[in-house]
Amino acid sequence: MPSQFPAVKPLAPVFGGAKVLVAGGLGFIGSTLAIRLAGLGAQVTIVDSLDPDYGGNFANIAGHESRLDVLVADLRDRERLPDLVRGCRYVFNMAAQTGHVDSMRRPVNDLEINAAAPLMLLEAIRAECPDATVVYGSTRQIYGRPDYLPVDEKHPLRPVDVNGVSKQAGEGFHTLYHQVYGLKTAILRLTNTYGPRMRIRDARQTFVGIWLRRVLEGDRFEVWGGAQQRDLAFVDDVVEAALLAAATPAAHGGVFNIGGAPPLSLLDLAEATIAANGGGGFDLKEFPAERKSIDIGDYWADDGLFRRTTGWAPQTDLATGLKRSVEYYRANLDKYL
């Protein structure tokens, strides 16, 4: 019986020799993507603000520095953008303010990073390299509290925090620039992404990070609520999705969910984290008030549209992904604290 999915396109012929910009390329997903692109033969430039509140870290590209050009700059500096994008064949924008509580405390900052900066970048691309393909890393947060599960792309968009509203605006600019100016854009709504190179010093980027830090340091971690169902995507699978979104013409102009392993409760995830480490413990807590008001409850993605369009499917099960994460931080913990 023939497969319902298209064959996955070989990526080396697509990216080999191509000039590529990765915004947020010293961060978690961006650095993993930049390293993968360099391995495919791309000429990769990373731009990252290295704001200490976010995930940028030179440790993320350790051992790969010779294959990557790095520029420490902020996408909000519009005077620098034309030089950054000139001649690019592909632009991956993984730069973001990801903290949900931070977005409520500093809403204008969130708006500038997640909406204004992407718009400035699109303007530079339209002027300097209008034939480039642009992949924008968005978030499942824009859906808010789900009406039904799994959540597909037809679900209403009702963000519950400033971060979701800003990312929705960033998405809107990419869709608009595709429709009006013909830019080849693809938007990926990512679920909870985890793996090596994520920020673990605190919970600003992902709660999984702080859990890993605690178990590696021999401390107990907190699980808030516990019954909420989540799906998690390993970073390598997310990177392959980004590459396929760029490489697949049928994906251009589209908006896609990217999911991961089958959903499980936070309690089950906590047990899986301890198992991956070979020991540890946690305490079940009530939600802090400032987080309960913006929690979305259960969520897992229906990413069938992206699978049918590109042939993509996640390759890393949760136990393997957590084990690889623990091993990475066990060897590099001092670089992430």
- Show pLDDT as tens, one digit a residue, over the chain (337 residues): 445 667 777 999 999 999 999 999 999 999 999 999 999 999 999 999 999 888 899 999 999 999 999 999 999 999 999 999 999 999 999 999 888 888 999 999 999 999 999 999 999 999 999 999 999 999 999 999 999 999 999 999 999 999 999 999 999 999 999 999 999 999 999 999 999 999 999 887 789 999 999 999 999 999 988 899 999 999 999 999 999 999 999 999 999 999 999 999 999 999 999 999 999 999 999 877 777 777 888 999 999 999 999 999 999 999 999 999 999 999 999 999 9
Give the start-end residues of each E strand in 67-144: 68-72, 90-93, 133-139
In a domain, 266, yes or no: no
pTM of the predicted model as reported, rounded to 2 decimal places = 0.95
What burial letters (b/e) apply to 39-72, b meaning 16+ CB within 10 Å?
ebbbbbbbbbbeeeebbbbeebbeeeeebbebee
In a domain, 148, yes or no: yes
Overall domain count for the chain: 1
- CA distances (Å), origin 246, targets 47, 89, 119, 167, 315: 19, 10, 19, 20, 19
**DSSP state string for 7-68:** PPPPSHHHHTT-EEEEETTTSHHHHHHHHHHHHTT-EEEEEE---TTSS--GGGGTT-GGGE
In a domain, 81, yes or no: yes
In CATH, what number is assigned to the domain containing residue 252? Answer: 3.40.50.720
In a domain, 66, yes or no: yes
In a domain, 271, yes or no: no
| Rg of the Cα atoms in the chain | 19
- Which residue is associated with the tokens 């970048």? 121
Q: What is the DSSP letter of 185?
A: E
Q: Are 266 and 230 in contact (CB under 8 A)?
A: yes
Separation of alpha carbons 193 and 94, rounded Å:
13
* Residues paired with 194 in a beta bridge: 234
Beta strands 264-265; 229-230: pairing state: antiparallel
State which residues form the domain around 41. 12-198+232-259+300-315
Q: Quick one: pLDDT at residue 286?
A: 85
Q: Quick one: pLDDT at residue 205?
A: 78
Q: Quick one: pLDDT at residue 146?
A: 96
Q: Quick one: pLDDT at residue 3?
A: 52
Q: Are 136 and 119 in contact (CB under 8 A)?
A: no
In a domain, 337, yes or no: no
In a domain, 69, yes or no: yes
- Which residue is associated with the tokens 């799906």? 231
In a domain, 335, yes or no: no
Separation of alpha carbons 161 and 100, rounded Å:
7
Q: Which residues contact 108 (CB under 8 A, 6 or more apart)?
A: none
